Structure 1
Amino acid sequence: MVSKLNRWTFGVLFGIAGLACATPALPASSVASDAVRQAMVVTPPPAPVVQRAAAPAARPQPTAQAQAAQARAAAVAQAQRPQAQPAPAAPVAALTARGRSAIVRATAYNSLAGQTDSTPFITATGTRTRPGVVALSRDMLRLFPYGTRITIEDLSGRYNNLLRGRTFIVEDTMAARKTGSLDIWMSTRSQAINFGARQVRITALR
């Protein structure tokens, strides 16, 4: 009886030990398939990091003092450039007066501010006053424009010896109130006074 009991006891113990040493159960087939699929997925490499160039530093704005200095420099450069002298009227304008003749009242003037303006040595066309220059009233300028070369004949005959053979050029104009008049430039006031006022015939040279 004891021996049977012992054999039964040993059998139970060996059965329990066998269960403990048994091969572990395998995972379900779906779990294994998912593991294989994940292993086959190729992970893309990380995107390269692009280093952006730093924005250029803003240029410093010129100060008000620097801007004023630049403006002064530009003004000095402009002032140093040669200024074009106003040219007399184109000779083409005088061509229409060739051969034209008119009788006008003639006087004489000098380079004095009281007789001209604040620039008594500069004519209306920008030239210098000199012997041979004459000024016409504005109504006569329509007939004998700037640049017209004329001869002058004193109708009294008194000054013809001084006027004969001379050529005068229209480069100046008279005050707006004057009409039908001519002014001959002379170098001295005494010459202008001696000439006085007289009737003359002016003729545009052909």
Structure 2
Amino acid sequence: MSHDVQKKYLWHNIKVTATAYNSIKAQTNAHPQITAFGDSLKPGVKVVAVTQDLYEKGLKYNTPVKINGLQGVFYVKDRMASRWKNKIDIYMGVDVKAAKNWGKRHITITYGVPLE
């Protein structure tokens, strides 16, 4: 992450349950390439979906997220079903094997809240 991006945010750590998903109909809905916010998904983009409670804690649309064990910065571009709590879902394109290998983990993520 560039130093300029680092300076634009106040960074927070939070423990979450992290799973992974793919843009295939069997895992989402009839439009698996469109997020809940209306963004288009394509393999290679770094996107996470968040639960409503995390959204309310500051993981809003376009929030940058660093995930231990994965390279780069992901951005909140999708929402999860209301039945889940304190959970993120990491977008892994159409690589179902990678998503299954990730499985379900309890991890600490770091997310940025814009400085005003």
> How do 1:103-142 and structure 2 match up within 5 A?
103-130=15-42, 131-142=45-56
Structure with greater proportional strand content: 2
- 2:52 aligned with 1:145: no
Query: Partner of 1:39 in structure 2?
Result: none
- CA deviations 1:41-97 (Å, max 9, x no partner) are xxxxxxxxxxxxxxxxxxxxxxxxxxxxxxxxxxxxxxxxxxxxxxxxxxxxxx8x7
Distance 1:141 1:204 in 2: 11
Distance 1:177 1:167 in 2: 26
Indicate which of 169, 183, 186 corresponds to 2:92.
186
Question: What does residue range 28-43 of structure 1 map to in structure 2 within 5 Å?
Answer: none
Deviation at 1:98, TM superposition (A): 3.0
Q: Report the residue type matching 2:52 in the other structure.
A: R
Alignment correspondent of 1:202:
109
- CA separation in 2, counterparts of 1:203 and 1:147? 14
The structure, 1 or 2, with the larger RCO (C-alpha pairs under 8 Å, 6+ apart) is 2
Unaligned runs of 5+ in 1: 1-94, 154-159
Deviation at residue 170 of structure 1 after TM alignment: 0.2
Shift, 1:117, TM fit: 1.6
TM-score, L = length of structure 2: 0.80
Give the CA deviation at 1:205: 3.3
Identity level (%): 36
SS of residue paired to 1:141: helix
**Distance of 1:98 and 1:106 partners within structure 2:** 22
SS in 2 for 1:170: strand
Corresponding letter in the other structure for 1:195: W
- Is 1:174 the counterpart of 2:80? The answer is yes
Say which structure is richer in helix.
Answer: 1
Spell out the pairing of 1:69-88 with structure 2 (5 A cutoff): none
Partners in 2 of 1:114 and 1:179 — Cα distance? 22
